[in-house]
C-alpha cells in the first residue's frame, strides 16, 4: 500500500508508474475523496475539541455545585453532530483505503520498462544445458517409469493438480528441503516453521488480499486462508511491531507447503509437477533498512542461485520489466531453470524487493538509534527454492538413457543413494 499523503502529493509520479506498469487505474476520484476526507476530519476534530473543553467545564461546575443544564443540553447536539460526521467520514475513509489497497507498488527506477513478459531482460546465465545422446524425457515420464510420482492416485485422493510422491520421489522432496534449509541457514538465515493457515489480516499485510482472493484456498468456519507462500506468515511475524535498529537486518528461511487455486490457468502445465495446488517451497525473507534493500535484493538472489549452482542445474536470471512486475513488488528477479524435457527455461524462483509497500500494509517499522519517530522497514523475499520444480529439474537434467536418474553430488548425503532406479 502506498501512503495516502504520498499519493496526494505525488499524483504525477504515481500516474507515470501506473502507465509503466500498464496498469489501468483511475486516479481522478482520489484527490477529491481526500479533500472531502480531510475536510470532514477537521470538522469532527474541532467539534471534539469543543466537547472536551465544555465537558471539562461541566465537571468543574458540578463540583462547585453550580447548574450545568444549559451546557449539557448544548453538548447533546454536538455529540450527535460528531456522530453524524464520523459516519460519513468512515464511509469516505473506507473508500480511500480500498483505493489505496488496490494501487500497486511503484517500480524501482532500475526496472526495465516494458509492456509484458516478452520484454523482460535476461541478466545472466549460469551453466551449460547438457547435450543428450538420446531424446530427453519429460519428468512425468521419468517419474512414472521409476514409480516415484503417482498422478492418478493424487487425483483420486484429492483431485486434479495433486500428486502422490512415493519412495525415492518422496525422499527427493525431503532431501531437497533439507539441503536448501541447511544451505540457507549456513548463510545466516534463521530457520522458521510458521503456521500455514493464516488470518485475513496477514493476507492483507503481504498484499494477497483484497485483490487476489480468487487465488487462495480458504476455510470458511472458522475463517482461515491457506498460505500460497511462506512469505505470508514469515513477513507477518513482525506485523504491527516497531523493531530496534540493531535488530536489522533480519534474515529468515522457512520451509512450508504452499497452496494455490491456480484459477485461470486451466490448460497450462496440466501434466506433471510444475503447477500443483499443493507444493513445497523453501523461502527466504528479509527485513532491512531502506538504504540497504537494493543491495540486499542482489544478495538474496545470489543466495537462491547458489542452490541451483550447488545442484549443478543450468539457469538464467531474468529482470522482470515494469509490465510483468507483481502487484506488491518494486523490483523482481526471476530464476529460470533449464528443463531438457521441455527444452525451455522455467521459473523456479522469484526474488523481490517490496521496499516499504508491505511494511506499510503490515505496519512493520523500526526506530533509528537516537532519532525521533519511526520508519517503515523494507521487506524482501524470494524462493530458495520451489522444491517440486527443483525435483523436476533434477529428474530431467540428470536422467539417463536407461530411465534411471543420477543423484547430484550435493544431494547424495541427503538421499543416501547415487542413482534413482
Active site residue 347: yes
Question: Which of 13, 49, 94, 122 touches RNA by CB under 7 A?
Answer: 49
- β-strand partners of 252: 190, 285
Distance (Å) of CA 183 to CA 178, 309, 388: 8, 12, 18
208, with CB counted inside 10 A (0-12, 13-18, 19+), is buried
With CB under 7 A as the rule, give the number of residues binding RNA.
35
Can you name the residues that pair with 121 across neighbouring β-strands? 319
Q: For 81, how many CA atoms within 13 A lie in the half-sphere containing its CB?
A: 15
Residue tagged active-site, from 21, 37, 161, 260:
260
Q: Per the residue annotation, which of 36, 201, 262, 347 is the catalytic one?
A: 347
**Residues 350, 415: Cα–Cα separation, whole Å:** 26
Q: Is 283 exposed, middle or buried (0-12, 13-18, 19+ CB in 10 A)?
A: buried
Indicate whether 4 belongs to the interface with RNA (CB under 7 A). Answer: yes
Binder among 21, 238, 365, 378 for RNA (CB under 7 A)? 365
* DSSP H stretches of helix in 104-150: 139-146
Binding mask 206-245 for RNA (x = CB under 7 A): ----------------x-------------------x---
Cell numbers describing residue 344: 525451455
- Mark the segment that binds RNA (CB under 7 A) among 67-75, 145-153, 164-172, 299-307: 67-75
Cα separation, 185 vs 93, whole angstroms: 43
Grid cell 510420482 is found at 149
Looking at the Cβ atoms of 20 and 360, the one nearer to RNA is 360
Shortest Cβ distance from residue 158 to RNA (Å)?
21
Q: Which is nearer to RNA, 139 or 365 (CB)?
A: 365
Catalytic-residue membership of 361: no
Is residue 195 at the binding interface for RNA, with CB under 7 A as the rule?
Answer: no
Sequence-distant (6+) residues with CB within 8 A of 261 are 214, 215, 216, 217, 277
Altogether, the residues listed in the chain come to a count of 421
State the Cα–Cα distance between residues 283 and 335, nearest whole angstrom. Answer: 14
52 contacts RNA (rule: CB under 7 A): yes
Stretch that binds RNA, among 76-84, 151-159, 340-348, 405-413 (CB under 7 A): 76-84
Smallest distance from RNA to CB 155, Å: 28
Asked about 63 being catalytic, the answer comes back as no
- Tell the smallest beta-carbon distance from residue 84 to RNA (Å): 11
For residue 328, give the 3-state DSSP assignment.
coil
Residue number with CB closer to RNA (27 or 419): 27
Residues at the interface with RNA (CB under 7 A): 3-5, 38, 41-42, 44-46, 48-49, 51-56, 58-59, 62, 68, 71-72, 75-76, 78-79, 83, 222, 242, 365, 367, 372-374
Give catalytic residue positions: 260, 275, 347, 350, 389
Amino acid at each position: 500500500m502506498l501512503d495516502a499523503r504520498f499519493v496526494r502529493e505525488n499524483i504525477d509520479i504515481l500516474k507515470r508508474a501506473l502507465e509503466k506498469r500498464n496498469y489501468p487505474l483511475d486516479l481522478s476520484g482520489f484527490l477529491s475523496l481526500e479533500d472531502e476526507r480531510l475536510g470532514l476530519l477537521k470538522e469532527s476534530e474541532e467539534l471534539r475539541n469543543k466537547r472536551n473543553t465544555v465537558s471539562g467545564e461541566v465537571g468543574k461546575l458540578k463540583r462547585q455545585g453550580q447548574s450545568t443544564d444549559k451546557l449539557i443540553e448544548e453538548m447533546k447536539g454536538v455529540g450527535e453532530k460528531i456522530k453524524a460526521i464520523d459516519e460519513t467520514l468512515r464511509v469516505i475513509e473506507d473508500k480511500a483505503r480500498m483505493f489505496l489497497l488496490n494501487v500497486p507498488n511503484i517500480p524501482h527506477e532500475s526496472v526495465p520498462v516494458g509492456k509484458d513478459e516478452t520484454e523482460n531482460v535476461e541478466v545472466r546465465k549460469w551453466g551449460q544445458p547438457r547435450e543428450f545422446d538420446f531424446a530427453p524425457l519429460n519428468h512425468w515420464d521419468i517419474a512414472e517409469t521409476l514409480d516415484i510420482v503417482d498422478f492418478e492416485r493424487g487425483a483420486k485422493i484429492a483431485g486434479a493438480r495433486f500428486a502422490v510422491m512415493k519412495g525415492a520421489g518422496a525422499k527427493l522432496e525431503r532431501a531437497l528441503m533439507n539441503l536448501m534449509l541447511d544451505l540457507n541457514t549456513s548463510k545466516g538465515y534463521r530457520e522458521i516453521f510458521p503456521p500455514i493457515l493464516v488470518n485475513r489480516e496477514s493476507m492483507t499485510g503481504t498484499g494477497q488480499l483484497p485483490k487476489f482472493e480468487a487465488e487462495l484456498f480458504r476455510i470458511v468456519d472458522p475463517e482461515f486462508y491457506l498460505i500460497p507462500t511462506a512469505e505470508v506468515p514469515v513477513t507477518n511475524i513482525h506485523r504491527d511491531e516497531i523493531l530496534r535498529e540493531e535488530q536489522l537486518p533480519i534474515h529468515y528461511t522457512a520451509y512450508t507447503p504452499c497452496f494455490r487455486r491456480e484459477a485461470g490457468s486451466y490448460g497450462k502445465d496440466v501434466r506433471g509437477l510444475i503447477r500443483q495446488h499443493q507444493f513445497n517451497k523453501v523461502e527466504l525473507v528479509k527485513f532491512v533498512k531502506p538504504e540497504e534493500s537494493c543491495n540486499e535484493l542482489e544478495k538474496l538472489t545470489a543466495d537462491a542461485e547458489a542452490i541451483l549452482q550447488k545442484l549443478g542445474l543450468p539457469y538464467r536470471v531474468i529482470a522482470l520489466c515494469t509490465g510483468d512486475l507483481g502487484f506488491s513488488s518494486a523490483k523482481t528477479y526471476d530464476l529460470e531453470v533449464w528443463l531438457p524435457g521441455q527444452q525451455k527455461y522455467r521459473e523456479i524462483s522469484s526474488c523481490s524487493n517490496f521496499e516499504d509497500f508491505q511494511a506499510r500494509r503490515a505496519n512493520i517499522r523500526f526506530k533509528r538509534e537516537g532519532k525521533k519517530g519511526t520508519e517503515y522497514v523494507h521487506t524482501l523475499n524470494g524462493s530458495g527454492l520451489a522444491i517440486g520444480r527443483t525435483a523436476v529439474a533434477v529428474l530431467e537434467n540428470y536422467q539417463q538413457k536407461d530411465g534411471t536418474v543420477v543423484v547430484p553430488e550435493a544431494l547424495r548425503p541427503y538421499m543416501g543413494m547415487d542413482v534413482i532406479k
